[in-house]
Amino acid sequence: MSTTHEENSLAQVRDLAAQLRVDAIRASTAAGSGHPTSSLSAADLLATLQARHLRYDWDVPDAPGNDHLILSKGHASPLLYAVYRAAGVVSDEELMTGYRRADQRLEGHPTPVLPWVDVATGSLGQGLPDGVGIALSGKHLEHAPYRVWVLCGDGELAEGSVWEALDTASHFGLTNLVTIVDVNRLGQRGPTALGWDLETYAARVESFGARAAVIDGHDVEQIDEALARAEGTDRPLVILARTVKGRGVAEIEDSETWHGKPFPEDLAARAIEELGGERALVVRGPRPPARKRPEPVVEPVRRPEFELGEEVATRKAYGAALVALARADQRVVALDGEVSNSTGVAPFVEEFPERFFEMHIAEQQMVAAATGLATRGHLAFAATFAAFLTRAADFVRMAPVSRVDLRLVGSHAGVEIGADGPSQMGLEDLALFSATQGSTVLYPSDASSTAALVELMARTPGVSYLRTTRGAYPVLYGPEEEFPRGGSKTLVSSATDDVTVVGAGVTVHEALSAAAQLAEQGVSLRVIDAYSIKPLDGDAVRAAAEETGGRVIVVEDHHPQGGLGAAVLAALAREPIRDLHLEHLAVDHVPGSGSSAEQLERAGIDAAHIVRAARSLLEA
């Protein structure tokens, strides 16, 4: 039986909810794994939403007017896939044979392998922050009528990222964002902190500037009325639905021992009978408003130019390059963590205020908002201090799972920042981003290379990270120089070089100073600017190592693990190099305060230490 929205009565919603419960049980039992009880508690919520409020063209998942449904409690994937079956886009055969199976698209937690999924979920506390990014696009950039519906579990409300999201949604007036919380009282190992204390949840929601609606999550009339409040709400709406885990199967309802356990076949059979048996309803709700999304204007980029020898901080060059990119491409938007006057983004804020989103000191939300914006086709660049991006490590980790293109910029990296001390020094960021699947990690040494690499990031898929430096350093390259992904630049070389030095960012300048000092003493140093740390220009490094008798120094303003040294070692390990002798100069201590020069000297990564390392290699 197929129905239109006008025919979807509340009685039919109840029938649909029963079908969703049955299908969630069938799929998880067939797979031998999954979370049926977490699915059963939210079935009435999603049935009402699907049948009467979700404006969606199931045949055209990327229709510009479509609403967006995010299952933040991604472990309830059997319920979501049951919704897809009820919409007629997933067959019963796929539901029963494809769930949680190898090389199938109905994965244990939803991912954008499915065309109806915007972002990957399952790492709790991410769905709502990602939804904020999509809602930001709809309200402030696309000016589109779509709504973003996010289904959360009550357990994930312990995550601070959820409250960052509500705070941000209220700040930006995201009345197109509706959060539905399945308050079923139970987490993985037992009761949640608040259980069914919906009054406290409501007070917290209201304190963050959102509108709370407390309902019985199994009363479809109450659910329907609450969902209807999305029309004309004056604040982001949060529906707090009191539910029962395992609802509809009497022998396991509200049980603390059934989380994440599929029903054995005998229990599944009893449960399906109790729920009225299998059904084959095909239910689609209201159609989205017809809408066309204009094509963005994209023109050639006029890259900013800098004079050779001029001292410019790469963080400042990032801001100039971002402005130039935004002038050429309407898709470019910027986000910042309340440090735009330090990261270099201030000129963008001044010229393109309508395309800038201040995320304040909420780095998880900043990365999540960039993720949501990216799903809508924007080229989102998000910047803060490199040290503070580590707070958002899990959001970075999930970006490849969501198949999004993220462009992140970390300024004030390493001990070079000077007197501010170790709490402000990004010394782990290269490791974080290098370990991210499919990522690109870039660390320019001057303003010209920074401008070129910002342009490169705009056309680079996956997660790309640009590391910038606080201090001003001489421009080394002309405006015509190109910086391809996976490349490097050899700044000093001769046919008789004695030692190779591989640096990036600030250490390139220290290496050049060391090369000049050693040249006066008859020692020839080859200096490589490894601006692309991942992928590294392994061929250039290997060739240089072989041509300088296996004598290599790697110098980086980062901890020894996971940064430039690790990349160079991996490249040199591909094939044996005869008589390889490698010195790795890195920050292998907890720094204090001091000037930039003092910090580099204490860390053993300044020109004097490079000179000392080169002499040591030659003596060896």
Residues identified as active-site: 363
Find, among 106, 137, 116, the residue nearest to 68 by Cα: 116
| Structure tokens that stand for 532 in this block | 């692309």
| Structure tokens that stand for 557 in this block | 């303003």
First to last CA, the chain: 82
The answer to whether the CB of 262 falls within 8 A of the CB of 32 is yes
* CB-side neighbour CA atoms (13 Å) of 583: 21
Which ranges of 173-264 does DSSP label H, i.e. alpha helix?
198-207, 220-228
The Cα-based distances of 211 to 106, 227, 296 in angstroms read 34, 12, 35
- Under DSSP, is residue 465 helix (H, G, I), strand (E, B) or coil? strand
Stated length of the chain:
620
Find, among 375, 395, 373, 392, the residue nearest to 384 by Cα: 392
The Cα-based distances of 386 to 342, 415, 607 in angstroms read 12, 12, 24
Q: How far apart (Å, rounded) are the C-alpha atoms in residues 618 and 611? A: 11
∠ CA 116-118-119, nearest 5°, is: 130
In single-letter form, the type of residue at position 604 comes to: G
The answer to whether the CB of 67 falls within 8 A of the CB of 180 is no
∠ CA 18-20-25, nearest 5°, is: 100
The answer to whether the CB of 149 falls within 8 A of the CB of 80 is no
Find, among 168, 210, 471, the residue nearest to 337 by Cα: 168
Q: How far apart (Å, rounded) are the C-alpha atoms in residues 96 and 81? A: 10
- Under DSSP, is residue 408 helix (H, G, I), strand (E, B) or coil? strand
Q: How far apart (Å, rounded) are the C-alpha atoms in residues 539 and 486? A: 10
The answer to whether the CB of 371 falls within 8 A of the CB of 397 is no
